[in-house]
Amino acid sequence: MHIRVINPNTTRGMTDTIGKAAASVAAPGTRITATQPASGPVSIESHFDEAISAVGVVEEVLAAERGEDPVDAYVIACFGDPGLLAAREVTRAPVIGIAEAAFHMATLISTRFSVVTTLGRTGIIAEHLLENYGFSHHCRRVRAAEIPVLDLEENPDLAVERLIDECLRAKKEDNIGAIVLGCGGMADLTDQLTDAIGLPIIEGVSSGVKLAEALAGLKLGTSKYGDLAYPRPKPFTGQFEHHSNIKIQ
C-alpha cells in the first residue's frame, strides 16, 4: 500500500518531520511518501494562506494521479484541511484531512475533547471545521498556545513548553478526556506530550495515516457520484491553462 502524505506548505524541514511521523505509525507493507507543493506559503496561518496552499495540494494529487507510482490514499497534513474536497474530486483514492481524522479519533476514545493549536486566529478556523464536520458538540474548547507555526521547527524547546502549559490548562479546566493537537507540524510530539500531560493526545498525521490504511484496505475510495465526481473538463486561462479540458478518469 502506498500513502502519499502532502504537506501543504513549502517548508522542507516540516515535510520531513511529517513524513517520519507518518512512517513511524504505518503498518508493515505500507509505504509513505511525503511531498510538498513547489510554490506557496512557508506556513499556513490564515484563510489567505489556506487558499493559496489548496491549489498546491490539488496540483500534488494531480501529479501523483498522472505519475507511474500508483497511490492508494492521500493525507493532507495541515490542520485546516486545505483543498480537501477539491482533492477528493480529482481521484478515486481516499483523501484524508488531518483535522477531520483527529476529530474522529478523539470521539472514539472520549466523549469530550479540546483542541490545542498554534495561534488564536487559526483556532477560529478550527472552530469552523468542528462545526462543518459536526464535531462541535464533542469539543469543549479550542485553545491557542500562541506560537507561530515555524517556531515548531526553529524554536522547538519554547514551542513545546508553551504547548505543555496550554495542554495542562485544558486538562485542569475543560473537563475533557483527550486533547487534539491542532497543527501538522506537531506530528512528532505525541509521545512527549502524552507523557507530560497524562491524557490521550491525538495528532492528525498519524490519525490520517491509519484511517487511510483502513479505507484503502477495505477498498473504499472516493465516490464519483454527486459533488465529488470528477470535475467537468473546461477551458482554463492564464497560469492555470494547463488544466484546460483535463481528463483524469
Domain boundaries, the chain: 2-97+207-243, 99-204
Cell 485553545 locates to 143
Asked if the domains at 2-97+207-243 and 99-204 fall in one CATH topology, the answer is yes
Looking up cell 490514499, which residue turns up? 73
Contact 206, 182 (CB under 8 A): no
In the chain, what is the greatest distance between 2 CA atoms, to the nearest angstrom?
55
CATH class of domain segment(s) 2-97+207-243: alpha beta
Residue 123 — φ and ψ, nearest 5°?
Answer: -60, -35
Check residue 153 and give its pLDDT. Answer: 86
**Which cell is 220 given?**
473504499
| Fold category of 99-204 in CATH | Rossmann fold (3.40.50)
**Long-range Cβ contacts of 164-170 (<8 Å, 24+ apart):** 164/193, 164/196, 164/197, 166/116, 167/116, 167/193, 167/196, 167/197, 167/199, 167/201, 168/196, 168/197, 169/143, 170/114, 170/116, 170/141, 170/143
CA distance 221 to 102: 20
pLDDT in tens, 89-104: 999 999 999 999 999 9
Q: Is residue 170 helix, strand or coil? A: helix
How far are the Cα atoms of 34, 77, 123, 155, 162 from residue 145, in angstroms, in the given order? 27, 20, 10, 14, 6
Kindly report the pTM of this predicted structure. 0.95
**240: Cβ–Cβ under 8 A, 6 or more apart, which residues?**
none
- What pLDDT, on a 0 to 100 scale, did the predictor assign at position 249? 65
* Segment 45-86, tens digit of pLDDT: 999 999 999 999 999 999 999 989 999 999 999 999 999 999
Query: Which residues of the chain are modeled with pLDDT < 70?
Result: 249
Buried/exposed code over 16-26 (b: 16+ C-beta within 10 A; e: otherwise)? ebbbebbbebb
